[in-house]
Structures are given as C-alpha cells and as structure tokens.
C-alpha cells in the first residue's frame, strides 16, 4: 500500500497563499470596477457639483415676480446638507426673453421678504423693509438691494446656481445705470 508523503505539507503556509490570492483578486476587481462605477455615477456627481437647480419652463414667466422654493445640496468638507431657498423670477419686460432672478433674503438682517403684487413691492415684515420690483430699497433699514442670481436658460427651461449670488452693492452698474431710488 502506497503512503502519501506529507512531510512538506504546511497548512499555515497554504492558508497564507490562499489569503494572498483572495486579496489579489479583490484588488483586480476594484481596479476594473471603480472606473466603471465612476462612469455610471458621473452625471449625478456632476449635478451635485454644479448645483444647478431647475425652476421650470420659461414660458411660465410674466413680468411679475413668480415665487419658487428650491432645494439643493451644499458641501462643507465631507459634510453634505440640504438647503431650502426662496427665489423670485420674472421677465424683465412683458415680451422680453431677459429673465431676472432675485433672492428673497432681506439685506438688513436676513429675514425673508415676500412679493406683494397688490402693493407692487417686496416687503420684509421684520423691520418694515421695502423694495421695489427691481429689488431696490425704497423704505426701511435695508442697506442695499436684494441679491440676484444669474439666470441660466437652456432648452426653454430656467435654471439657477443657488450658490452663485450677485451681491448688488454697485447699484449703478447692476441696475442698468438707473441708480438707487432708496428713500428711507
Ligand atoms: S431684516 Fe428685513 S428689514 Fe430688518
């Protein structure tokens, strides 16, 4: 009867090689898989990175401010958080394709201002701040006009990047050289 020679057999060594092989297979799978996954989620990553938010079809707009409440993601370091923002958009004139988008955050102490169509003004109830349809201060303590956001029109739809504000400090320049009508 033949006997099997087990003198060179080392179970620990064999387990070591098996683990090494598994590790190598895992690394190879990751090398192939990561670019494929990155390719698949790239549009999503791009969307978060660009922060563009769709407001809707531009044909919805008139020359009166229309309210939009948007949600978007911001990132500080590794921490992502959802933010909510209220905006007003309108056409610059009844038949104009030029769009104006304004933040509702009062430039005094940051309360939300709202459009009052019947009074033709933005009103901030915190300290009676009043702005005209262009966002210029016409009453109360706000030190400067409402901020604007750059409208992005693509394929008939309006988008904004809510992290990209235009602070209207230079009123002469940003309001077409009309200057401020601030009275209070
Ligand atoms: S916060 Fe708007 S007027 Fe003070």
SS (H, E, C) 124-167: ECCCCEEECCCCCEEECCCCCCCCEECCEEECCEEEECCCCEEC
Name which residue leads in pLDDT, 55 or 36. Answer: 55
Q: How confident is the model at residue 108 (pLDDT cuts 50, 70, 90)?
A: very high
From atom 1 of ligand 1, which residue's Cα is the shortest distance away? 109
The pLDDT, as a whole number, for residue 159 is 95
For residue 68, the SS3 value is strand
Residues 149, 164 contacting (CB under 8 angstroms): yes
The pLDDT, as a whole number, for residue 183 is 35
Residue 55's alpha-carbon distances to 46, 87, 96, 101, in angstroms, are: 18, 9, 18, 10
Q: How confident is the model at residue 15 (pLDDT cuts 50, 70, 90)?
A: confident
Q: In what order do the strands lie in the sheet with 121-124?
A: 114-116, 121-124, 129-131, 137-139
**pLDDT beyond 50 at 58:** yes
Between the CA of 141 and the centroid of ligand 1 the distance, in Å, is: 7
Between the CA of 90 and the centroid of ligand 1 the distance, in Å, is: 23
Between the CA of 131 and the centroid of ligand 1 the distance, in Å, is: 11
Q: What is the C-alpha separation between 51 and 83, in angstroms, rounded?
A: 11
**pLDDT beyond 90 at 63:** yes
pLDDT digits (tens, 9 = 90+) for 150-179: 999 999 999 999 887 776 654 544 444 333
**pLDDT beyond 80 at 82:** yes
Mean pLDDT to the nearest integer, 3-20: 69
Residue of 86, 105, 106 best suited for mutating to test ligand 1, as the one with most atoms within 8 Å of CB = 106
Mean pLDDT to the nearest integer, 86-108: 95
The pLDDT, as a whole number, for residue 75 is 78
The pLDDT, as a whole number, for residue 141 is 97
Q: What is the C-alpha separation between 92 and 153, in angstroms, rounded?
A: 14
Q: How confident is the model at residue 42 (pLDDT cuts 50, 70, 90)?
A: low
For residue 109, the SS3 value is coil
Name which residue leads in pLDDT, 21 or 119. Answer: 119
Q: What is the C-alpha separation between 68 and 95, in angstroms, rounded?
A: 21
Mean pLDDT to the nearest integer, 10-39: 72
Between the CA of 73 and the centroid of ligand 1 the distance, in Å, is: 26
Q: What is the C-alpha separation between 109 and 105, in angstroms, rounded?
A: 9
Which atom of ligand 1 is nearest to 140's Cα? 3
Mean pLDDT to the nearest integer, 52-57: 93
The pLDDT, as a whole number, for residue 77 is 78
């Amino acid at each position: 009867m033949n006997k099997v020679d087990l003198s060179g057999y080392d179970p620990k060594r064999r387990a070591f090689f098996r683990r090494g092989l598994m590790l190598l297979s895992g690394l190879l799978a990751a090398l192939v898989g990561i670019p494929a996954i990155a390719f698949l989620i790239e549009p999503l990553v791009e969307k978060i990175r660009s922060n563009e938010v769709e407001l809707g079809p531009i044909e919805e707009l008139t020359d009166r401010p229309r309210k939009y409440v948007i949600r978007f993601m911001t990132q500080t370091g590794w921490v992502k958080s959802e933010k909510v923002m209220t905006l007003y958009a309108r056409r610059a004139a009844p038949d104009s394709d030029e769009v104006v988008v304004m933040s509702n955050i009062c430039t005094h102490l940051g309360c939300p201002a709202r459009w009052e169509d019947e009074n033709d003004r933005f009103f901030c109830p915190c300290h009676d701040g009043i702005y005209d349809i262009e966002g210029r201060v016409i009453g109360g303590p706000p030190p400067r006009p409402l901020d604007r956001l750059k409208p992005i029109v693509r394929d008939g739809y309006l988008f904004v990047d809510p992290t990209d504000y235009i602070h209207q400090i230079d009123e002469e320049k940003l309001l077409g050289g009309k200057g401020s009508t601030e009275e209070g």
